[in-house]
Amino acid sequence: MSDPVVLTTTPGGLLLVLSVLLPFVGVMVGLLVGGRRAQRVAWATIVLGLVLVAAIAQALLASGDTLVYLLGGWAPPLGVALRADGLSVCMMVVVAVVVGAIAVYANGDFGTPAGSDEARGPLTFWLLLLAVWGSLNLVFVSGDVFTLYVALELLTFAGVPLVALDGRGDTLQAALRYLIFALAGSMFYLLGVFLLYGAYGTLDIAQLAQRVEPGAIAWTAAALMTVGLLAKTALFPLHLWLPPAHAGAPAAASALLSALVIKGAWFLVVRLWVDVFPGVITVPAAQLLGGLGAAAILVGNVTALRQARLKLLIAYSTVAQIGYLFLMFPLVAALDAAQIDSGSTVTGGLLQAISHATAKAAMFMAAGLIYSTLGHDRVAELRGVGRALPMTITAFALAGASLIGLPPSGGFLAKWLLLSAAAATAQWWWAVVMLVGGLLTSAYVFMVVVRSLAPAAPGWTPRKQVPRYQQMAVLFLALCSFLLGLAAMLPNDVAQIGRASAPVAGSQ
């Protein structure tokens, strides 16, 4: 057993604490001032948060290594360390950008009505938006598995109320189902944490990576924690809560849930499988996880094609896109077993998560504008909306192109890296799944765009004129997703900064 890792706070480490505290301070201040001022507090917090995340990214690039902050000056296992490597900082930057774009869009839907000092819906939304942001930042910088559990619970209790903001019976039912799945997932995850602490005497990720060895306890802990996180991520067949929750929520809330909230649990699976259990996870176990991802891609896409409502179509598309995120694991396991560097494959999984976050947020917000314009979101009756909302339909098409994997989108670069890993490890079946998934995705994206561009019925007029800034927010995120593939031109792989080579699977 290796000696405990000795840590010290690094320059820029304090920024990690601020990235977590700032959104929650905004929640408390907004709750105190209430009314219209809560929205102003949220916007001030978002602007400061964007500056703060940019400073964290600069600190990471300047140091070229993981940023660390020891809470109270105590090093693990007695204390808690916050850490941010390239994966963490990339996710923090993307979350900040997406939160900012959703906030711009939400001004049109969650502004306090004229003549009213305070309304329940707007006040709740702005506070929950900040709470989700702070919870995600805690997920990305937590350095031990119990703090990650706390972050997950904060994220759950910030995300569930977003589903039922309108107070309708069906959305309350969807929120309750989401809560049940999330709490069950937390229970399984926490049982795994107990096992790890009892066996190894530490919860710190870096120290666990050195101490964990293959055996019944490690395998049981890995299985329990993974199942719990899969329930929160909504990977097939644990996806039953996601479509009604995302489809029934307001457009801005759906964008937040689909683009960001589910990424928290997926990020934890990456931390566990790549950083904590790389010598414990076997190749067959990784193949099983990849098989669930493949099933999600096929079932989610086929079900999306059969939906009559646009938001349900996008929700089932999310089920499918989650599957791509889990194709990374069998590829990484096979590369590690063959003693081949798997860093680019992990980067491919990260790019898939980022491109999905930006594209899916754009799609849900576009669906909200289409609903406002037509008064419905029935896929068979979208004619005329292309002329009324040309910028929005363009954004939907660009986001769809990224999900399909057309160049130069982020989806293309992510799938290219994953396909390269599949070729390097002779796992052709994952390549077939990705290609079939892309074809199915192109079918429903093409169907929506073509029907939207059909001429409107004579005499038809839009039900509502949507603000131009909302359309620009949607287009901005879609362009981010579509142009993300240009990240291949960067001189260095930013996502791998501060990441040591993982132990080879089965080498311990």
DSSP 8-state symbol, 82? E
Query: Within 234-307, where are the H helices?
Result: 242-248, 251-256, 262-270, 283-305
- Say if residue 346's pLDDT is above 80: yes
Q: What is the mean pLDDT of the chain?
A: 88
Helices and strands in the chain: count of H runs, count of E runs: 20, 2
Q: What is the mean pLDDT of residues 41-52?
A: 94
Q: Where are the domains of the chain?
A: 286-500
Q: Which residues contact 255 (CB under 8 A, 6 or more apart)?
A: 98, 102, 105, 360, 361, 362, 364, 365
How many percent of the chain have pLDDT more than 70?
95
DSSP 8-state symbol, 68? E
- Residue whose entry in the numeric block shows the structure tokens 């937390």: 186
CB 231 within 8 A of CB 184: yes
How many percent of the chain have pLDDT more than 90?
52
- Say if residue 125's pLDDT is above 80: yes
DSSP 8-state symbol, 309? B
CB 233 within 8 A of CB 269: yes
Longest dimension (CA), the chain: 77
In this predicted model, what pLDDT tens digit does every residue of 369-388 receive, in sequence order?
A: 999 888 888 888 888 888 88
- Say if residue 60's pLDDT is above 80: yes
One-letter amino acid of 270: V
- Write out the two tokens for 75: 């090093």
DSSP 8-state symbol, 144? B
- Say if residue 14's pLDDT is above 80: yes
In this predicted model, what pLDDT tens digit does every residue of 249-308 receive, in sequence order?
A: 888 999 999 889 999 999 999 999 988 888 788 888 899 999 999 999 999 999 999 998
pLDDT at 115: 59
pLDDT at 229: 93
- Say if residue 96's pLDDT is above 50: yes
In this predicted model, what pLDDT tens digit does every residue of 176-234 receive, in sequence order?
A: 999 999 999 999 999 999 999 999 888 888 888 888 888 889 899 999 999 999 999 98
Choose between 477 and 454: higher pLDDT.
477
Beta bridge partners of 378: 309
pLDDT at 10: 84
**Nearest to residue 354, comparing CAs of 494, 182, 202, 217?**
494
Query: Predicted confidence band at 2 (pLDDT cuts at 50, 70, 90)?
Result: very low
In this predicted model, what pLDDT tens digit does every residue of 61-91 receive, in sequence order?
A: 988 888 999 887 787 877 888 999 989 999 9
pLDDT at 500: 61
Phi, psi (deg, nearest 5) at residue 83: -130, 150
pLDDT at 184: 92
Q: How far from 334 is each of 42, 58, 65, 431, CA to CA, in Å?
A: 45, 34, 27, 14
Consecutive H or E run containing 410: helix 410-424
Q: What is the mean pLDDT of residues 111-129?
A: 76
CB 155 within 8 A of CB 264: yes
One-letter amino acid of 313: L
- Residue whose entry in the numeric block shows the structure tokens 């869009």: 105
CB 417 within 8 A of CB 348: yes
- Say if residue 170's pLDDT is above 50: yes
